[in-house]
Structure 1
Amino acid sequence: MRHTTNVRTAALVAGVIALTGTAVSGVAAAAPAPAVVGNGGGHTLNAAPTDLVGWATQGGGTTGGGGTAPITVNSASALTSALSASAASVIRVSGTISCSGMLKVASNKTVLGNSGATISGCGFNISQASNVIVRNLTFRNWNDDAVNVQYSTRVWIDHNSFSNGKDGAVDIKRASDYVTVSWNKVSSHDKTMLLGHDDGNGGEDRGHLRVTYHHNWFDGTNQRHPRVRFGNPVHVYNNFYGGVGSYGVASTEGAGVLVEGNYFENTKDPYHLGEGDSGPGTLVARNNHFVNSGSGQSGGSVASIPYSYSLDTASNVKSVVTASAGAGRISV
């Protein structure tokens, strides 16, 4: 069952905090969040970016190539050329494209997979770009990252499938901001989603790295779901963690992470503070559902969430996410 809360009520709870962006205490953060029906939970979506929720709605929003007439590519050379072109464009990927390394993605792009579209052996480098959408693609066997976002803003990574890569599935770093990662499936993979690449990069990253992760399916993956440095608030809600090996969410190096309404199954360490040599951040956990899983570690305060969103009841998240996450679940 999907439930909503009134934006005005939540604003009263947050008070001036919502206007100033100052930290929300663990108690205040446990108040109902702003919400509005319509993030596409459990339903087949169309190809238009009408179901965007989260941080990628901020800073002017994320529209990608907009209404530009689409072009279709079915080779590595054609894809490379289309991704790096300076003009706004909608790029449809057809068939399996085999490649290596990282393909540069320029600003104002929508990259949309046709049915069964696969990127094999390489990844996308969204660097010094803005207003980029990547949807409905299967990435496998990449030899660096599948999607790397750096020095970029207003990015939406939605309804993709990731498996068997070398490094990160979706890594976001170097002062990137206003990003939503939604309805993706990751399986047969170790290092899943890194947010903030290095403990020493706080000078660039503080005040940025604001990302929403929602309705993703982590299917037997190992770590970094996500591993967060510096970003505050980072919003992790309505994701399904099934059989996660090492840990779910880690908040480190002063990050502030809200972990809300997720379903953890057979996951001994759902979330914690600090990771490896990285010092702790803060983490507020609320309304999560646990099946044969640990209880997690939380503490401290997190800045308020500025956007409206709809929250699925945590006990329903497994069925909602497994029915709709990953490539091939949207109409193109």
Structure 2
Amino acid sequence: MKSLYFLTALLQIVAIYAQNNCNPKFYQCGGQTWKGSNCCNPGLQCVKINDYYSTCLPSSSSSNTSSNYNNNNYNTNYGNNNISNASNVQNASSNSGPIGYASLNGGTTGGQGGQTYTVSNQSQLESAVKKNEAKIIIINGIIKLTNDITLNSNTSLIGANKNSGITGAGLHFKNVKNIIIQNLKFSYCVGNNKDCINAQKSTNIWIDHCEFFNDRNHGKDYYDGLVDITHACDYVTMSWCSLHDHYKVSLIGHSEKNAAEDTGKLHITYHHNYFKNVGSRLPSLRFGTGHVYNNVYENVESSCVSIRMSAQALVENNVYRNAKRPISTNLDTPEEGYVIQRNNDFGNTANTNSITKIGSLNTVPYKYTADNTNSVYDIIRNKAGPQ
């Protein structure tokens, strides 16, 4: 009997010790290179996100989260994407990486295999992004910024839930590679660049399941772009994002005088994004090569897909609702672009198209599955943006 009492007391001590050394919500608790504690505080469960990263999530949602990822719903066919749990930390570093040009040039893996940092204020975020090694940075909640944040190479920046992100300023990176930005809200970006994301001379960028918005209460130049990719950036994918209430949304290639730097670069894929209550640049592409498919354009004031300055684009299976100039190749440019368009639903705006040059981009050098145009509107409205 004494031995039974002793064993019970010993188990209680072990349990207390384990609890004191367990991880709080959204902290890392496992992975191939993880050397810390594998347990989570009471009410939490350690959920595997990928081979390199597991995190502590509430027990009530852990089973759904684990099922979502381990059953590969976040798979290579984004048209069938089935992320449903609002508490999910997005799978930014799994083998099921981006579709599109960001999958080329060695692929885009972000901070895969690196240390994970959870941040909830500007000083913590600034400290984490300065590190040069591979890293996964999880933003928990909305961080109010007083200045733009600069990213280094091999970084995954992920929202802990559907209400995590930054406001007041944006992200800037230059001469870096291998960046993943996922599951984040960006708003009211009036920092140094006046862009929510400003990328220059950088390669392999994946922007996924994010939301971008400012407002249309000011003039169109009060803010700049939501996502601007310029100065010979290359191998970029933007997928499953919601972009709304803004004038100049996404500029690819900053200047008509930049042919020497940009020609042969700026390969970019836009798929499964929702553009609503916006002005133009969805995107505006100079000199580069674009694949634009399965996006929704709703209440667009000026123009949607603008391909100019000898750029080539394949524009397919998109849906346009009250969206002026769905596709144009000669808008505000001294040199036209080239487009192949197919299977698009222009609604009542087809007569405002201005495709003056037929392109040669019939196929793209990666695998993808385009959803049927008839189903795109409902799919995107329900699944674009943070989850």
TM-score, normalized by the shorter chain, greater than 0.5: yes
Task: Write the letter of the residue equivalent to 1:119.
Answer: I
In 1, the alpha carbon distance for the partners of 2:80 and 2:336 equals: 32
TM-score (norm 2): 0.73
Equivalent of 1:101, from 147, 152, 168?
147
Task: Write the letter of the residue equivalent to 1:77.
Answer: S
Equivalent of 2:164, from 108, 112, 117?
117
In 2, the alpha carbon distance for the partners of 1:113 and 1:275 equals: 37
Please name the residue that 2:244 is paired with: 187
Counterpart secondary structure, 1:289: coil
**CA offsets per residue over residues 98-153 of structure 1, 9 Å max, x none?**
11332110000000011211201111112111000000110000011001111000
Equivalent of 1:223, from 266, 271, 280?
280
Counterpart secondary structure, 1:175: coil
In 1, the alpha carbon distance for the partners of 2:304 and 2:350 equals: 11
- The question of whether the paired residues in 1 share the 8 Å contact of 2:76 and 2:98 is answered with no
Task: Write the letter of the residue equivalent to 2:141.
Answer: G
Please name the residue that 1:74 is paired with: 120
1:208 aligns with 2:265: yes
Please name the residue that 1:302 is paired with: 360
Q: In the superposition, relative to structure 1, how do residues 311 and 95 fare at CA in structure 2: closer, same or farther (>3 Å)?
A: same
Please name the residue that 2:103 is paired with: 57
- The question of whether the paired residues in 1 share the 8 Å contact of 2:207 and 2:237 is answered with yes
Compute the displacement of 1:176 (Å): 0.5
1:44 aligns with 2:44: no
Counterpart secondary structure, 2:146: strand
Counterpart mapping for 1:1-332 below 5 A: 38-44=77-83, 47-49=90-92, 50-115=96-161, 116-143=163-190, 144-164=194-214, 166-232=223-289, 234-295=290-351, 296-298=353-355, 299-303=357-361, 304-327=363-386, 329=387
Counterpart secondary structure, 2:224: coil
**CA offsets per residue over residues 248-293 of structure 1, 9 Å max, x none?**
0111100001111000111121010122244211111101012222
- The question of whether the paired residues in 1 share the 8 Å contact of 2:309 and 2:333 is answered with no
Counterpart secondary structure, 1:122: coil
Compute the displacement of 1:227 (Å): 0.4
Superposed structure 1 runs of 4+ greater than 4 Å apart = none
Q: Gaps (5+ residues) in structure 2? A: 1-74, 216-222
In 2, the alpha carbon distance for the partners of 1:244 and 1:97 equals: 30
Counterpart secondary structure, 1:111: strand
Aligned length: 292
Counterpart secondary structure, 2:145: strand
**CA offsets per residue over residues 42-84 of structure 1, 9 Å max, x none?**
4217622425100000000000001334210111111122123
Task: Write the letter of the residue equivalent to 1:280.
Answer: E
Larger Rg: 2
Compute the displacement of 1:195 (Å): 0.4
